[in-house]
Amino acid sequence: MNLPARAELLATAVVVAVASMGLLAACSSSAATAQPTMAPVAALTAVATPSDGAAGAATAGDLIATARADGPILGAVAATAGATPSPVATESADPTPRLKMATYVVNNVPFTSAVPCGAKTCQVKLDVFVPVGTGSFQTVVLLRGGPSGMGGRSYLGTLAQMLAGEGLLVFNADYRDIYSEGGGYPQAFDDVSCAIRFARAEASRYGGDGARITLAGHSLGGWVGSVVALDPTPFDGDCLAQDGSGRPDAFVGLAGNYDLTAPWNMPDLLTFFGGSAEATAAARAASDPFAYAYGSKIPVRLVAGTNDTAVDPAASTALDIFLLKQGWNVSLTRVPGATHMSLVSAPVAAESTLKILQASELAQSS
C-alpha cells in the first residue's frame, strides 16, 4: 500500500485532536488530577535554580533515576519536584492518516561550507520536502538519529513526507555525528545550528515562513536538538546562511536519548565523542541538556513510546520534569505500544506528526 493510502485519515485525526486538546494550552491540569492515587514517592533532590546564569546540571541523575518509575506514579514524582506533570497520551493517533496536500522533494541541498569530514572535506546536506499549495507554510528542521554519518537522514523520509502533506515545509538534515568523520562536539551542534539558519534563509523560496522554525529530532537527534534548543547561546559553524538565529522557536523530541550517563547510551556516545566518558568529560558536560534551560523559554513537546527498548522512555520523562520545574511550556506524550522506530514510521508517526504540528502552531503564536 502506498503512503497516501496508508495515511488516509491524518487530516481528520489532527483536526479532532487539535480541537479537543487546545493548541495554545501549555499543560492540562485535569490530566494530572486524573492520575490514580498512589503511595507517596520519596522527594526528589531539589532542582537547582540558575546560579550565575546556569541551571543545576547535577540534578539530572536524580531526575533520571526517579523517572524510571512507570505509569501513574509519574504524577507523584513530578509533584515532589514542584511541577505539574505533563498529560500522558492514552491512545495514539488514528492509524490510517491521510496526506492532505501534494508534495515534492528537493534532494541533497548543501547547507554548510566545506567542513572536515575525517580524511576529507564535505558539505553537510539536507532534503527539502515541499507542500504544493499557497504558503506561508510553517517550517520544520528534522534531525535523524544515529550515529550514522552522512546520508543517514533517509530513514526519516516517511515522517518528512507526512509533515509536508500536512502543509509543513520540512528540511530533513544530516549532521556530523561520528568523531572519526569530523563530528562530535561542537561540530554536530554547529551543523544543526547551520541547518536552522539555512531554513530561515531559504524557507521563502519554497513558500515557507523562515521567521519561526520548529526543530524536531529523533533519538540521537533528539538529544543534539535539545541542546541546541535549550542552550541560550547559539552555536556557530561554517554555515552557508550566516544571518538569523541558530536556535529554534520550538522543539520536539522524539524518543530522545537525553541521558548521557545511561549504560545503553555508552556505545553511541563513544562513537559520537571519540573517547570514553572520562577522556571526553568536558565535551559531555557542555552537551548535557540538563545543564541549560535558563534561556528564553520556547515551547517543547516530548514524545516517547512505551515499548521503546532502544532508548529508555525515562529519559524523556526526566527532561519533561526538569523543564516543568524551570517553568517551560513543555508536555510529554507517551504513545502506548510504540517502539523506538515506529514513532517515525507509518502509521504510528501520525502521533509524532501531531506533536510537531502543535509545536509549530505554538512557535507561530510566540
Per-residue pLDDT of 126-178, as tens digits, reads: 999 999 988 799 999 999 999 999 999 999 998 999 899 989 999 999 999 99
Vertex 345, ends 12 and 257: CA angle to 5°? 115
> Chain centroid to CA 332: how far?
11
3-state secondary structure of 67: coil
pLDDT in single tens digits along all 366 residues of the chain: 333 333 322 322 222 222 223 322 333 322 332 322 222 222 222 222 233 333 433 344 566 666 544 433 333 333 334 455 555 544 444 444 455 789 999 999 999 999 999 999 999 999 999 999 887 999 999 999 999 999 999 999 989 998 999 899 999 999 999 999 999 999 999 999 999 999 999 999 999 999 999 999 999 999 999 999 999 888 999 999 999 999 999 999 999 999 999 998 999 999 999 999 999 999 999 999 999 987 789 999 999 999 999 999 999 999 999 999 999 999 999 999 999 999 998 777 777 777 888 887 887 776
pLDDT at 294: 78
Vertex 148, ends 340 and 99: CA angle to 5°? 55
The Cα 91–Cα 351 span in angstroms is: 9
| Strand duo 300-305 + 330-335: pairing | parallel
DSSP H helical ranges for the chain: 3-6, 10-21, 29-33, 60-66, 73-80, 157-165, 187-202, 220-230, 266-273, 281-286, 314-325, 349-365
Task: Please check whether residue 179 is in contact with residue 145, taking contact to mean a CB–CB distance below 8 angstroms.
Answer: no
pLDDT at 353: 79
- Cβ contacts of residue 312 below 8 Å, gap of 6+? 68, 259, 262, 264
Task: Please check whether residue 64 is in contact with residue 314, taking contact to mean a CB–CB distance below 8 angstroms.
Answer: yes
3-state secondary structure of 117: strand
| Counts of helices then strands in the chain (DSSP H, E) | 12, 10
pLDDT at 19: 25
The Cα 34–Cα 26 span in angstroms is: 17
pLDDT at 345: 87
The Cα 333–Cα 329 span in angstroms is: 14
Greatest pairwise CA separation for the chain in angstroms: 59
pLDDT at 349: 76
3-state secondary structure of 70: coil
The Cα 188–Cα 174 span in angstroms is: 9
Residue entry with cell 559520537? 272
- Domains of the chain plus CATH, in order, are 57-365 (3.40.50.1820)
Task: Please check whether residue 207 is in contact with residue 164, taking contact to mean a CB–CB distance below 8 angstroms.
Answer: no
Residue type, 183: G
